[in-house]
Amino acid sequence: MSPTAKGLILLCRPGFEAECAAEAEAIARHAGLQGRARTAPNAGSVHFVCDELFDWKLVLEATPFSAFVFARQRSVWVDRVADMPQEDRATPLVEAIAALEVQIGRVEVETADTNEAKTLSGFLKRFIPHIERALVSRRILRDKPDLPTLHLFFKDSSQADLGLSRPGDASPWNMGIARLRMPRNAPSRSTLKLAEAFDALMTEEERAQSLKPGLYAVDLGAAPGGWSYQFSERGMHVYAVDNGPLADSLVAAGMVEHVRADGFSWRSPRKQVEWLVCDMVEQPARIAQLVSDWVASGKAKRCIFNLKLPMKKRFEELKRCRQVIDARFKLHGDSYVLRIKHLYHDREEVTAYLAKLPAPPVETPKMSRR
C-alpha cells in the first residue's frame, strides 16, 4: 500500500517563512488540495498540512518543485517519529521507514538552516550511518538512482519528519544549499549567484546550447564584474554596462568590453545577443519590464536577472513582476519560459531565467488530387 501524505516539508531561507507559506498555500489551492501552512518566524522551514490524506505520489505530482520560488527544498511529508528515546533512537525510526513499504535509492538528512539546527550536525554524522546500514540490510535502501529519495528532517535529536521525493523533482543539493567554490580570479562573490542560477534554473540542454565560446552576452549593472566573469571564463564576449569600475583583470583578459553607460538606456550594437544578465538595484517591476523588452523583442535570446524584493509584501511584488512580463509577451502572442528561485546565494532578491520560445511551425496545407 502506498504511503499517504500528511502534507509538504519545505525548507527556506530564515526570514522568508511567510512568503514560503503563502506560496505553498497558493500552489496547493491551485492543485485542489485544501490545507494550511504552519511555521514560525526564522524557523527556516514550513510544513503544509493537508486537510485530507492523499496518496503521496498524487501530492508530489500536484506540487512540483519547479513551481516553488521560496522553497529551497520540497518533499512530501508522510510520517513523523517523535519522542525517540535517547537510549535507542534508531529502532523507532527504522521501523517507521519500513512501515512506509517503499524502496528508496537515497537518504537526504535535513535540518533548518539556522544556528540552533547546526548544533545537530555532530549527532547526525554519528547517527545516520546506523540508519543507512539498517535500511540496506532490510533491502529498503537500494543502489538504484531511479527510486524515490527519503528525506529525514530533524527538528532536534528526538524528532524526525519523513518525506519523499522523486529524482529530478527536488533540489539536487542537500537542503537546497549550493556549496560552490569561489573562483580565485573572480572579481566578487556575486559570481557564485550566477553559477548557481545556471545549474538551478536551466536544463542541461539549455546550458550546452548557450554557454559556449564565441557567443555574446550583455551584463547590465556589471561592476565589479562577477557575472561578466562567468561568461568570459567560457570564452564568450561580454558588453559589461556600468558607470562604475570593473576589475582590471577582467578587462585585461580581452573578452570583456567595459561600456560606461546607463543600463536602462544603452542599446547593443549587435542585432541579437545570446545572453542578457541584469543585477541592477532598482524597483522590481521596472527590471521586469526592461528584461522582458529585451527578450520579447529578440534583442537577447535569454536572460538571467535579479528582482530586489521589498521587505514587506514580497510575495505580492513577485506576482506583480510576473504580470508585467506576461503582459509584454502577450502583446504579440509570444510564448516564453520563466523560472524563478530564491537561490542560496540570494538574500533579499530572487533570481529568474527568461527565454522566448520559438513559434510553432506553420503547416502548409497539402493540395488534394482530383
Tens digits of per-residue pLDDT, 313-329? 999 999 999 999 999 99
122-125: long-range pairs with CB below 8 Å, 24+: 123/157, 124/154
Residue from 281, 294, 288 nearest 319 by CA = 288
- Cα end-to-end distance, the chain, whole Å: 61
Q: Active site residue: 125, 308, 312, 319, which one?
A: 308
Same domain, yes or no: 14 and 162: yes
| pLDDT of 360 strictly over 90 | no
Tell whether 64 is in a known binding site.
no
Same domain, yes or no: 140 and 195: no
Same domain, yes or no: 159 and 204: no
Tell whether 190 is in a known binding site.
yes
Catalytic, 155? Answer: no
pLDDT tens digits, 215-261: 999 999 999 999 999 999 999 999 999 999 999 989 888 999 999 99
Choose one of 154, 176, 198: the last residue of a domain. 176
Cα 163 to Cα 76, 92, 263, 322: the distances in Å are: 5, 16, 45, 30
Give the model's pLDDT for residue 361.
Answer: 67
For residue 231, give the CATH number of its domain: 3.40.50.150
Average pLDDT of span 82-108:
96
Same domain, yes or no: 229 and 275: yes
Same domain, yes or no: 167 and 194: no
Choose one of 144, 176, 208: the last residue of a domain. 176
- In the block, cell 545537530 appears at 120
Domain count, the chain: 2
Q: Considering only the C-alpha atoms of the chain, give the largest distance between any 2 of them, rounded to a whole number of Å.
A: 88
| pLDDT of 359 strictly over 80 | no
Same domain, yes or no: 114 and 22: yes
Tell whether 226 is in a known binding site.
yes
Tell whether 197 is in a known binding site.
no
pTM check: above 0.75: yes
Tell whether 187 is in a known binding site.
no
Choose one of 176, 210, 235: the last residue of a domain. 176
Domain span at residue 26 reads: 4-176
Tell whether 143 is in a known binding site.
no
The string of DSSP codes covering 101-127 is ---BSEEEEE--SSHHHHTTHHHHHHH
